[in-house]
Amino acid sequence: MDVLGERVLELGPKPEPGRPYHDFRLTRDADGVAWLLFDRADSSANTLSAEVIEGLDRVLTELETNRPTGLVVRSAKTSGFIAGADVNEFRGAADPKQVEVAIGRAHAVIDRLEALRIPTVAVIHGFCLGGGLEVALACQMRIAISDARFGFPEVMLGLHPGLGGTARFTELVNPMQAMTLMLTGRTVDARKAKSLGLVDAVCEERHVRNAVRDAISGRLKRARKSPLVALFNLGPVRRLLANRMRAEAEKAAPHEHYPAPDALIDLWERHGGDKAAMLAAEKTSFAYLMVTPTAQNLIRVFFLREQMKKLAGSGNGIEHVHVIGAGAMGGDIAAWCAGQDLRVTLADMKAEPIASAMKRAADLFGKILRKRTASRDALDRLIPDMVGEGVRGADLIIEAVPEKLELKQKVYSAIEPKMKPGAILATNTSSIPLQDLRTTLQRPERLLGLHFFNPVSRLQLVEVVSHDGTDAQLLKAALAFVGAIDRLPLPVKSSPGFLVNRALTPYMLEAMVMLDEGIDQMVIDAAAKKFGMPMGPIELADQVGLDICLDVGDMLRSKFGDALPPTPAWLREKVARGEHGRKTGKGFYVWRGGKREMPLGTRPQGAAQPEPTPEMIDRLVLPMSNVCVACLREGIVDNADVVDGAMIFGTGYAPFRGGPLNYARTRGPENVASTLRALAGKFGDRFAPDAGWETFK
């Protein structure tokens, strides 16, 4: 139940005096049942640090000395059970032996919890992730509140579960399902967890005490273990399934770049079904992964996300958003905002784009909102607005019309007189400087940029663009709005292409030059993927739209000249023919149903594909690092870490590299600058290293 919007938890009796546990509350009820409440003192969420684990060890000594009739493990935090390990303690790990010793101490405590000779019950609400789920698995029974979510997100940090989860999870749940969850990092809700056999019961908060009594007394109907657990843990079956898992994992995360999935599969293949052996091997495997560059860079990315969340600040005052332009970007921005509990009016000159946007919104809500009623409510909040009346009441107007300066200024002239006092006028322009856009405005201080990235529902970054006259309070409000809709803000000063498009355009245009040189498009894309990019520049250009790439390239070249690769004449002809990429079904690739099918003008059937060369990779990726250094030097952005976060969350730049500046730092700034000079000598001044390399560290 909820009172004044806050959860009222059944937390057992009040704490007894004289029981000093820094991060726990240990009490006993009238039936002699101990209630152990995780309540980390220095955080709003429970995480498992070495100190917390030591505290749990002291609690277990108390429970072994004065044995209760049963033990209930809960969280005192309203946010959830336990969010996992304290990731701060993972940073900078370099010695696998030290890591193994530390994880061994934690293992011993979790094993001690499992070995208690009394009924033990974990009662779980909210998130139960990583190490938190491993604590729950060490209890004999698990009761989930209906809002609980379970998962092992360690793979996102380049790791696998390290507190016994690999052994206990595959021993309890169908190993195919258990391994899939650990390999993907996906979460499941309480009902799904019950169907998997992960939890024994699902109830509402008001029924917790009765459920606990049933569990302690033995009356709770336990989840039945699937017969597939024993079958799939047989040696020959494990080997067969492990090979299949490896093939699937390699498609999503190549072992060369992401060793954790392969390490997890090896662990289960070798030791599945032998709990003691798997627990021992898990510690060694976890320690090895912890010190890999992949894990350390992904841990860095975790903190980059947290750092960027803080840039949003707090106090969002935006309730009504009006979006002008129901095309691919405008429609999807409107849908995302409506899905985040905001009232949204969506305007366009034609009904067809609005109808298409509403259909895409319905599809999106069906995927991201768990309840049918929530999807219905989100659609109710997204209001078609052919006449544009929403402008009058909107707190924020987002203009998302095509990238034409005159068109955007025409829109501003029509809507500015209708805007209410204090409303923000935001443009989703991907490249046009705000100094150019503001020239016809009566109140230019209200103009700022909110540059979303495609696809809006998957890419977390929003560039929040200011010009030298932007109202500081409105800029602050825009940052808070971005945080409120669960996106990551990047404050940038207005400049051609801002940060991300300025850095990404050379990547795609250099690929066009390489095509002009006769290099196969599949080889070019393979070069980028070999570096670790999620897709190659040719495919990315098709995804973005060749018309947009051409417009952005022309605009940036008008500002930066020879610093950008030349645009081949055939690209203009391709755009003129309507071959714009994915959205028209034909670009460099053929697209059907939104999926890439085959390249146009491919090699003869059966011909071997040449291997990408290191020079190809450098030509594609080093200009991105060069632009990022230039943007730092020019003050477009003021923080190198945030630049790396922006490129990862806005473009998918290989996360295991830690971002283009971190990659340059790892490779060595002198090495990068000298390589750029060599490329400039061979291919032209567009590769000339920026002056910022002289001071970059």
HEC string of 175-229 equals HHHHHHHHHHCCEEEHHHHHHHCCCCEEECHHHHHHHHHHHHHCCCCCCCCCHHH
E strand or H helix that includes residue 37 = strand 33-38
* Active-site choice (100, 134, 399, 463): 134
Give the Cα separation of 536 and 449 in Å (integer).
Answer: 28
Contact at 8 Å (CB) between 382 and 334? yes
* Active-site choice (100, 154, 282, 399): 154
**What letter does residue 42 receive in the DSSP assignment?**
T
**256 is a catalytic site residue:** no
Give the Cα separation of 690 and 676 in Å (integer).
Answer: 9
Nearest Cα to Cα of residue 304 among 475, 460, 82, 81: 460
Residues 6+ apart with CB under 8 A from 287: 96, 97, 99, 100, 103
Give the Cα separation of 459 and 333 in Å (integer).
Answer: 12
Amino acid at 481: F
Residues 6+ apart with CB under 8 A from 198: 142, 150, 169, 172, 173, 188, 223
DSSP H helical segments within 233-316, as ranges? 235-252, 260-271, 275-290, 293-311
**134 is a catalytic site residue:** yes
Give the Cα separation of 225 and 81 in Å (integer).
Answer: 24
Give the Cα separation of 490 and 308 in Å (integer).
Answer: 7
Diameter over CA atoms, the chain:
83
Specify the 3-state DSSP secondary structure of 501: helix
Residues annotated as catalytic (active site), given as ranges: 134, 154
